[in-house]
Amino acid sequence: MKKQVKIEGLDCPNCARNLASEINKIDGVQNADINFVKSTLSFESDNIEKALEEIVSLTKELEPQAKIVDKQKEQRNKLFLICDISFLFLGIALGFILFFVKMPLALYWSLYVVSALLLGWKTYLKAIRLLFRRIINENLLITISVIGATFVSEHMEGLMVIALYSIGKIFESLAVNRSRKSIEQLARMQPEYANLLVGGEEVRVSPEEVSVGNKIVVKPGEKVPLDGKIVKGSASLNLQSLTGESVPVLKKKGDEILSGSIVLDGELVISVSSAYEDSTISKIMNLVENASENKSKTETFISKITRWYTLGVVVLAVLVWGIVWAVSRNFNDAIYRGLIFLVVSCPCAFAISVPLSYFSGLGNASKNGILIKGSNFLDACAGIDMVAFDKTGTLTTGEFKIEKITALKGKTEDEVLFLSAIGEKTSIHPLAKAIVSACQKRIPKAKEAKEIIGKGVAFEYKNKKYFVGRKSKELKNTAVELYENDVKVGQIDLVDTIKDSAVVACQSLKQIGVKTVLLSGDNQESVQSVAKNLGLDEAYSKLLPQDKFDFIEKAKAEKRHVGYVGDGINDAPSLTLANVGFSMGINGSPASIEASDVVLVDDNPSKIYTSIKISRFTRKIVWENIILSAIVKVVFLSLGAAGITGMLSAVFADVGVTVLAILNSIRALHYKAK
C-alpha cells in the first residue's frame, strides 16, 4: 500500500534527501521519497501503521524540529519560527555583551557557550545524529567551523558563523514557504462538493459520487466540480486557474464546461460528461502531484553530487590545512584557513535553488493551463526547434462549416441544402451534422433511408430516389454530392474551421525561430489550405500514423529537437517518439494524453509557445544560480586559502549567495511569456 503524509518544519533540501534515504532503510518500507517543495512524504509498506510509527520515531531523532502530520498546522509552524527568531536574537545579544563588556573568565566562557548553543543548537544536534549514521552534510561543516574558531581563539568569528548561518536558514525557510504557498494555490481549484439534482431536488454530495449523465447545479461563486455540457442557464466563468485567462468567459446552453471553472454570475444546470477521476480538474491535480517525480538531468546530477560533495569538502579542507601548515608552520593559521574552506563550501545554494527553480517553472506552467509532467520535460521544451502539428482537432476545431453550395440541373442552393439535410438527418458523421445544422427549415423524415458504409445515405422523398454522400473519387474529403434518380444535382463543399489560437501559435513560434510543420492524413487540397492560412513552413498530406512516426524519426536523426502536437489515438506513437509530445486536454483521447509529456488544458495550441518560453526562462534561472554559486564559492575559497579574507567574509558569501539563489528561483514562478 502507498501512503502520503505532510512533513512540517523541514527547511533543508539535503536534510530531506538524507532523511528519505534513512527511511528507506527501515524494514518493510519501500520507495520512500520526500518532496521538499511540497512538504510531503510518500512511501510504500504492507503495514502502513507500523511503518508510519517507525518513520515518526526516526524523523524525531534525525530532524527534531520536523514533524509528520496528516494536516498542516500553520499555527505550530509560526510558533517554531518565533522561537527560532527569539533564540537567535538572544544569542546575538549575548555575543555583543561578550564583545563589549569585560567580565571574569568563567562568566565569559559560560555566556559564550550559551550564546553558541542558542544560535545553533539545531545545527549541532543534526550534525551529531547524522554523523552516527555515517552521513556528513553542511551541518557538520558549520559545527566544525564553530568549534575550530573557538579552538584558535577567534570567538567572535565563531559566533558570527553560526549566527549568519542561522539567519540564512530562516530566510531560506521563508522563501521556500512563499514558493510552496504559490504552488498550493492550485490545490484550491479542487471542488469540495457537487449539487446533484435528484427528483428535482438538490443534494450536496462529493464529486466522486456523481455519475456520467447526472445533472448538477452550479451557483454564483461556486466551482464547477465535473466536466459536462450546459443544459440550462448561462453565466460568466473565471477560467484563470485552468487556462491563465484573466478575462471572464461567457458560457451558455449547449457549451462544454470544464471542472475547476468558477461561476461568477448566473446559475447553471450541467449534464456531467466525465466521472471525477477523468475530469479536467482531477487530471490537473494528478499531473501536478506527480510532476516532481520526473527530474531533469541537471536536477538529478545536483542531487547525486551533493551526497558526496560534503565529504569531499572535508577532505579538501584538511588538505588546505596541511599545505598552509607545511608552508607557514603556523598551526592556528592553517586551521583557520581550513575552516574558511569548510564554511564557503556549504552546498545549500546548489541543493535548494535547482529543484526550487524547476518546481517554480512547473507551477507557472500549471497556472497558465499547461500541465508538464516533470522537470525533465520542462527542460526538453527549452530545446525545441521544430513543432509538428496534427490538423483536425489540433489546429482546426474538428467542426465543419459550409464553404460553398453548387446547384445543378435547375436546383437552387436552398433546395440542395434542404434535400441533403433530409438524408443526413440520422447520420452521426461530422459533415452530416454540419449540413443539418446549416439548414434553417424544418427537416422531414426520409423514407427508406439506408446508410451505405463509407459512401453516404440513400433515401426517398416525394417519390424520388436520392443519394447524399460521395460517388466521385476525385472529390476532396470534405465535399458531399447530392444525386436525384442517379443524376448529380448538387454539391456541398465544407471546410474544417481553423482555431483562432492556431494562428497565434504559428506566428509566435516563428518569432522565436521554431520551424512549423503540418502532418495530416487529409487530402492535399485541404492540408495546403490550412498550411497557407497559418503560414506553416512545411505541410504533408495523406499520411498514415506510421508516416508521421517516420517523419519525426528522420527529423531527430538530423539532430532536430521535435515537439509533436496531436489529440487522437493514432497520434500516440508520434507523441511518444517526439522529444516533447503535446496533447489536447479537453478533446484529446485518453491514449494521447497518456502518451504525451505536456497536456494543454484548454486545447489551445498557442500555449506551446508559452511552454517553450517558460522552460527557457526556467533553464536560464537554473544556470544563473549554478554559475553564480560556483563563481562566488571559487573566489572566496581561493581568497580564504590565501589568507586574504576571513571567516566572516566566507559566511557572508555562503549565506548571501544561497538567499540570492532562492529569490532568483522564485522568479520562475511569476514569469510571464509575452
Q: Name the burial class of residue 195, with classes exposed (0-12), middle (13-18) and buried (19+) by CB atoms within 10 angstroms of its CB.
A: buried
The answer to whether 309 and 347 are in contact (CB under 8 A) is yes
Catalytic positions, written as ranges: 390
Report DSSP letters for 249-275, one per residue. Answer: EEE-TT-EE-TT-EE-SS-EEEEE-S-
Measured CA to CA in angstroms, residue 109 lies from 91, 94, 98 at distances of: 14, 11, 9
Within 10 angstroms of residue 101's Cβ, the number of other Cβ atoms is 10
Written as nine digits, the cell of 29 is 518500507
The CA distance from 540 to 521, in Å, is 8
First-to-last alpha carbon distance for the chain, in angstroms, is 45
Lookup result for grid cell 489536447: 584
Q: Could you tell me how far CA 172 lies from the centroid of its own chain?
A: 22
256 — phi, psi (to 5°)?
-75, 150
The CA distance from 431 to 37, in Å, is 50
- Which of 268, 279, 214 shows the shortest CA–CA distance to 242? 279
Residue type at position 214: N
The CA distance from 379 to 383, in Å, is 7
**Which residues, at least 6 apart from 459, have a Cβ–Cβ distance to it below 8 Å?**
422, 423, 446, 447, 448, 449, 450, 465, 466, 467, 468
- Which of 632, 657, 637 shows the shortest CA–CA distance to 647? 637
